[in-house]
Amino acid sequence: MFGRDDAPQVLTEEQQQTIHEQAMRILSEIGTDVLHEPARRLLADAGQRVEDERVRFDPDWIMEQVARAPTTFPIQARNPERSVVVGEGPPICMNVGGPPFASDLDEGRRSGRLQDHDTLVKMTQATDLLTFVQSGAVEPQDLDVVTRHMDCDYSVLRWSDKPYTCYGTSGPKARDAVELGAIVFGGHDAIAERPAMLGIVNPNSPLIWDFRMTDALMVWAEAGQGVVVTPFLLAGGTSPVSVAGALSIQVAEALAGVALAQTVRPGVPCMYGSFFTALDMRTGSPAFGTPESVFGILAGAQLARRYELPFRGGGGLASANSVDGQAAAETQMMLWATMLAGTDLVLHAAGWLEGGLTASFEKFALDLELLRMFARLREGVGFSEQELAFDAIREMGPGGLFLASDHTMEHFKEWLDMSPLFFTPDFAAWQGQGSPTLERNANAAWKKLLESYEDPGLDPAIDEELQEYMAKRRLEPVVEED
């Protein structure tokens, strides 16, 4: 269970082929708008048909480029022991990213602040269940919008020594991320040789590569950093209101992005990303934890494997406005699909609430507990002689009380999974405590996690260099073409 090879096949071979063929038709007959002149030139030079801003692709060329991307690749961490290989081993999970709001029971829902960002980074650093950090964990709205991307990356580099996805929603921001990374990891050549970050690229669906994202993609590809191409598709909004139709656009966009990255720098690490769900037509908002989004993860993983690209998808996504039964139910739909799919990289694995508008600290604690249980499930059933326990069964015999047995006393702490978060006192005791729901217990849990945080430190010379770079950049006007 939860392996790449035994993932549920929600698409038959034939259905995958149908999606593939339609994606190739989309790329060759409809094409995509590429609102970035140097990118269009590069694609034209590579033999693709360019008319005004529209680029139509040769399917064979697309597949040749995609084949240049590695099936697995390393991302180094500031602490070498925390370096990872993407596409091997269990899912690489990380904290939520992108919400404008932060929330916890003590302070309620508020605009995100740098201190909230730091807290999320520290909690991510403090748990072994997350092996990657996402910059932009929450938007620090107390900082200048023009330069706060650097503050987010600095927050990650200063308070964590895990590998990370950098902030970068435009070329100049992506370039700052590369510069900051180069300072920490020994220069541009060093990070080109061994990538030090992942950059997330979302085309402007359907079928538009806008200037900013294309620019960021090219910056990361040039610098040899990992490029995660993730179409952000909402059925009934940015895609047809059907799973099959949306998947064909997902393939078209993802492969076009990967092909462009490979054109910029052959062999650069790329990932096939899936962020797909449907709009709730009653509110116009994306709905998470729905059957469509479950299909999106499972089908996306199958398609990524078809193209031999590591898969980014899923996460602890939920629509709910509070950490209630709806939030947990939606999150479990997504996490089960994420784990069953054998997903390689999981953004937003902890802390996502309110459709991604809020980074919730209590949700963070709930999600970690679910990840902990999935990690336990991944270990499988133990079959040691002691666990088979024939001697204990014989000794106890019919009617034996295992509760009091030596065998139980000796092993229960090791073998029994007792949830640190889901603790259920008897009803009367629970009422006596004020009938706490999960949210209250999760509040205590994230505080305990934060208390356990240990500062990994940062070389003062590197720290100074980072500060100098950021100080210099704060004085320069950031030009963001569009």
Q: Which is nearer to a copy of itself, 44 or 329 (CB)?
A: 329
- Of 213, 259, 297, 323, the one binding a copy of itself (CB under 8 A) is 323
Shortest distance (Å) from residue 300 CB to a copy of itself: 12
Task: Give the interface segment with a copy of itself, choosing from 83-91, 122-130, 260-268, 395-403 (CB under 8 A).
Answer: 395-403
x/- site string to a copy of itself, residues 279 to 318, per CB under 8 A?
A: xxxxxxx-x-xxxx-xx--xx-------------------
Instruction: Candidates 76-84, 183-191, 224-232, 321-329: pick the segment binding a copy of itself (CB under 8 A).
Output: 321-329
- CB under 8 A, 24+ apart: contacts of 169-173: 169/212, 169/213, 169/216, 170/212, 170/213, 170/215, 170/216, 170/480, 171/212, 171/215, 171/216, 171/218, 171/219, 171/480, 172/215, 172/478, 172/479, 172/480, 173/149, 173/216, 173/478
- Tell whether residue 422 is a contact of a copy of itself (CB under 8 A): yes
The residues in 86-125 that bind a copy of itself, with binding defined as CB under 8 A, are 109
In whole angstroms, how close is the CB of 28 to a copy of itself at the nearest point?
12
Site for a copy of itself in 51-70 (CB under 8 A): 54
* Dist CA 169 CA 181 (whole Å): 16
Per DSSP, the residues of 314-331 read --S----SSSSHHHHHHH
> Binders of a copy of itself among 125-184, rule CB under 8 A?
none
H helices of 265-357, in order, are: 291-306, 325-340
Task: Tell me: does residue 207 bind a copy of itself (CB under 8 A).
Answer: yes
Handedness of CA 25, 30, 35, 40 (dihedral sign): positive
State which residue, 28 or 160, has the beta carbon closest to a copy of itself. 28
Q: How far apart are CA 20 and CA 303, in angstroms?
A: 8
Residues from 435 through 464 that contact a copy of itself (CB under 8 A): 435, 437-439, 441-442
Nearer to a copy of itself (CB atom), residue 108 or residue 477 = 108
Contacting residue, 5, 106, 427, 434, with a copy of itself by CB under 8 A: 427
- Whether the bond into 206 is cis, omega within 30 of 0: yes
Counting contacts by CB under 8 A, is residue 213 touching a copy of itself? no
Residues 214-253 that bind a copy of itself (CB under 8 A): 235-245, 247-249
Number of neighbours of residue 403 by Cβ within 10 angstroms:
8
User: In the window 328-387, what residues touch a copy of itself (CB under 8 A)?
Assistant: 328-333, 336, 340, 354-355, 357, 366, 369-370, 373, 376-377, 380-383, 386-387
Nearer to a copy of itself, 84 or 298 (CB): 298
- Nearest C-alpha neighbor of 90 from the set 54, 131, 55, 61: 131
CA 40 to chain centre: 29
**How many chain residues are in contact with a copy of itself, going by CB under 8 A?**
123
Nearest residue (CB) to a copy of itself, 25 versus 49: 25
**Sheet of 345-350: strands edge to edge?**
92-95, 345-350, 311-312, 270-273, 226-229, 197-201, 164-165, 133-134
Strand partners, 204: 208
